[in-house]
Amino acid sequence: MRIVIPGAFTARHQDVLTRYLADDRLLSPAEWQLLYQGIDILDTAQVHTDAGTGTFRQLYHCHIDVCFATSYLERLLALENVETQSPALIAEFARRIASHLQQAGLLLPDVSLTWLFYTYCVYWWQNFARGYAFEVQIVRDLRASGVKLYSHDIRDPVERRSVADMVVLNLTGDVKTSTYFLRSASSLGLPNDFYVTRLWIGGEHRLLVVFQKPTAWEKIDGDTVEGQLSGLLRLLPRPVKLRQDDVVLVVIDYAAWKRRVLQLQRKEQDDE
Amino acid sequence: MSEKQLTEMDYAEFQELMDAYITRSSQQDDALPAPTFLELLFDILSQRVQNVIRLEGQVINGELVLTPTEEETPVQVRGNQILLGDWQVIVTLKNDKLQPA
């Protein structure tokens, strides 16, 4: 077995990855950027074995996604309280990864580069597992609140990969943890009308917010206050219009967004 | 730089690190501060596409054939396949109602 890590993955990338694993609260903004860059580079690292050659991304798909995803999601959907019960389930599956890779000959105690592959797998598994726990939590909360929505069936591997997680008021939406949200963004823009996400604002405190394209917000309400990226937290829960160059997004507190969606859906129902 | 890189640890130390990471990251999302997240998000969305590669497609004998519009491109094009780094993009026609050129 031979592992080839791209030269672009430097000692600084490995250092920030090591420190992220130890305690991510200590990373600076520049180090977060370096971490994401390093993980992206590892996507193309290659593993050569007697069975053939594959990139980290391809092998993650074959050995982790195919083997664990559907059974994890079935167990997740069977939980009564996702918020309190999912952490144990996420950890249970993550702890299976080491023995699975050892059996496949892809995690060897005496070949330290295989540890990088294992780390890459656990990193993406945790993001995957937390991401779907968050999605299920939000979909259940919206339904319990009376919001009418269509959501994709996450047990179906094809439907799971649909661009949108849900449709509300004919707007396509996605529920994304911050890591996946960044990964779905590109210079071509965001594919969906709105994104429900969690912002970390220090300590143990996380804030649920909805990012929307201005056209989506106009359909729901349209009223906003102008804000700067650095001042967002002070302006919430009001709908805040953020602008940088020609990119404009409207951010609103999740509970306030849900209230306005419900009002509009009830009005539409009364009008019928 | 941290004292020891991940691949410089002994295996037991590495296992301990990963076990603690699994415990922590199963409980909560990454502690990516909101201002850093916003900065990264808007930076990604504001990036301009620097390089554009244009391809033309024709249906010849029922097969899609792609051709670069310029002689020199950083991608290799073979029939309906585009090779870019370690990516191979295969383009197929979804329905057979398209008329051959």
pLDDT in tens, A96-128: 999 999 999 999 999 999 999 999 999 999 999
| B12 and B29 assigned to the same domain | yes
* 176-235 of A, contacting B, C-beta below 8 A: 177-179, 181-182, 185-190, 198-202, 204, 206-207, 229-230, 232-233
| B11 and B41 assigned to the same domain | yes
| B12 and B42 assigned to the same domain | yes
Residue B99 counted as domain residue: no
Bridge partners, A54 (sequence order): A47
Nearest to A95 among B22, B28, B40 (CB): B22
Residue B1 counted as domain residue: no
Domain that holds residue B35: 6-46
Is the model's pLDDT at B51 over the cut of 70?
Answer: no
| B41 and B59 assigned to the same domain | no
Query: Torsion over CA of A144, A251, A154 and B89, rounded to 10 degrees?
Result: 170
Integer CA distances (angstroms), A226 to A162, A211, A250, B36, in order: 33, 14, 9, 19
Domain count, chain B: 2
Residue B11 counted as domain residue: yes
Any residues with CB less than 8 A from the CB of B46 and at least 6 apart, and which? A187, A244, A245, A246, A247
The CB density around residue B4, as the number of other CB atoms within 10 Å, is: 14
Q: What is the mean pLDDT of chain B?
A: 81
The per-residue pLDDT for B100 is 46
Which chain A residues contact residue B7 at CB under 8 A?
Answer: 14, 112-113, 115-116
| B19 and B41 assigned to the same domain | yes
Tell whether B11 is within 8 A of chain A (Cβ).
yes
| B42 and B70 assigned to the same domain | no
Residue B95 counted as domain residue: no
Token reading at B94: 């979804």
Is the model's pLDDT at A160 over the cut of 90?
Answer: no
| B42 and B12 assigned to the same domain | yes
Any residues with CB less than 8 A from the CB of A116 and at least 6 apart, and which? A3, A5, A14, A42, A45, B6, B7
| B39 and B60 assigned to the same domain | no
Name the nearest CA neighbour of B29 among A77, A197, A98: A197
Residue B79 counted as domain residue: yes
Residue B97 counted as domain residue: no
| B13 and B40 assigned to the same domain | yes
| B39 and B67 assigned to the same domain | no
Residue B20 counted as domain residue: yes
| B41 and B65 assigned to the same domain | no
- Does the model's pTM come out above 0.90? no
Percent of chain A with pLDDT over 70: 99
Interface confidence, given as ipTM, is 0.91
Is the model's pLDDT at B101 over the cut of 60?
Answer: no
Residue B100 counted as domain residue: no
Which chain A residues contact residue B31 at CB under 8 A?
Answer: 24-25, 27, 200
Name the nearest CA neighbour of A35 among A18, A19, A13, A11: A13
